């Protein structure tokens, strides 16, 4: 059985393919540590794909991301790869620079293509839609990407917040208002609900509607605010929220939307 499974893997990826690695970037957001976790585990190069960009929290390491986030991406119905830069507490890095995100994503596409053994070209990765996911302090990088991301922002199809302590509600409201028809926004909170209320008030002032329950299919135009029960804690919300493996569940809902529109 193992030999059969190994043979099937070789049919998908060339023999020189690599599924996950921590890679050093030339266009790295920080000079102190240039590492980014890249994963193509579960990715099928024969199908259309999505790039998940994950900005981790202050208390997370890339090893935490590999264990807790990469596996959710791997086993989701949505065909996706993971890009997760190493971040440092309280520091934004070069994401504040205009257009840096585009350079960073181009290098990620090149490295992902090499990992796939050239089963998918860098240009093919470059054209894939992007979903920005942030947890806790990762909001700082996310908000700056959405403000300074340049040409790369045309690929962003959604933003997901896991209990981010974000204090830039006006900026997120502007992003939602400007892209409300072709992207989605989901905010899942356990201990930062008051931030959600501030953002919802800004959207009300702009006459932008939103929902407070996660729909079965998550599509462009959906704006969702979901408060978790008291049993859900800040430090475990990316692993256990309304369900075990909540990111996987959201990616499954995105996939369901894509099947409905085909």
As a whole number, mean pLDDT of residues 81-87 equals 97
Question: For 32, what's the count of Cα atoms within 13 Å in the CB-facing half-sphere?
Answer: 8
User: Which residues, including other chains, have CB under 8 Å from residue 78's CB and lie 6 or more apart?
Assistant: 50, 251, 252, 254, 255, 258
User: Is residue 36 in a domain?
Assistant: yes
Residue 131: inside a domain, yes or no?
Answer: yes
Reading the block at residue 133, the tokens are: 């996911």
Average pLDDT, the chain: 90
CB 90 within 8 A of CB 30: no
- 134's enclosing H/E stretch is strand 130-135
* Residue 91 lies inside a defined structural domain of this protein: yes
42 part of a folded domain: yes
Tokens in use for 235? Answer: 């430090």
Residue with tokens 């596996």: 71
Q: How many domains does the chain have?
A: 1
pTM of full prediction above 0.85: yes
Query: Within a domain: residue 153?
Result: yes
Rounded-to-integer distance, Cα 88 and Cα 233, Å: 22
Q: What domain range is 222 assigned to?
A: 16-260
Q: Please check whether residue 7 lies inside any domain of the structure.
A: no
Q: What is the CATH number of the domain that holds 143?
A: 3.40.50.1820
Q: In the chain, pLDDT over 70 holds for what percent of residues?
A: 91
Band of pLDDT at residue 262, cut at 50, 70 and 90 = low
* pLDDT tens figures, 168-190: 788 899 999 999 999 999 999 99
Q: Does residue 8 belong to any structural domain of this protein? A: no
Residue 4 lies in a domain: no
């Amino acid at each position: 059985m193992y030999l059969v499974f190994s043979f099937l893997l070789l049919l998908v990826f060339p023999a020189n393919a690599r599924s996950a690695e921590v890679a050093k970037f030339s266009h790295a957001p920080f000079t102190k540590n240039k590492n980014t976790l890249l994963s193509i585990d579960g990715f099928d190069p024969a199908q259309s794909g999505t790039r998940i960009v994950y900005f981790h929290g202050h208390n997370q390491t890339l090893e935490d991301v590999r264990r807790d986030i990469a596996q959710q991406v791997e086993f989701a119905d949505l065909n996706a790869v993971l890009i997760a830069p190493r971040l440092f507490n309280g520091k934004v890095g070069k994401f504040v620079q205009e257009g840096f995100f585009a350079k960073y994503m181009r290098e990620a596409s090149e490295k992902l293509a090499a990992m796939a053994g050239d089963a998918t070209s860098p240009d093919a990765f470059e054209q894939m839609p992007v979903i920005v996911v942030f947890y806790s302090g990762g909001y700082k990088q996310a908000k700056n990407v959405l403000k300074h991301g340049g040409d790369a922002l045309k690929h962003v199809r959604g933003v997901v917040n896991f209990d981010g302590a974000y204090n830039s509600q006006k900026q997120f409201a502007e992003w939602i208002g400007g892209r409300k028809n072709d992207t989605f926004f989901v905010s899942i909170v356990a201990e930062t609900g008051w931030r959600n209320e501030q953002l919802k008030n800004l959207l009300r002032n702009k006459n932008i509607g939103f929902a407070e329950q996660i729909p079965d299919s998550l599509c462009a135009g959906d704006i969702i605010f979901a408060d978790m029960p008291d049993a859900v804690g800040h430090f475990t919300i990316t692993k256990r929220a309304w369900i075990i493996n909540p990111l996987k569940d959201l990616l499954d809902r995105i996939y369901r939307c894509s099947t409905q529109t085909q």
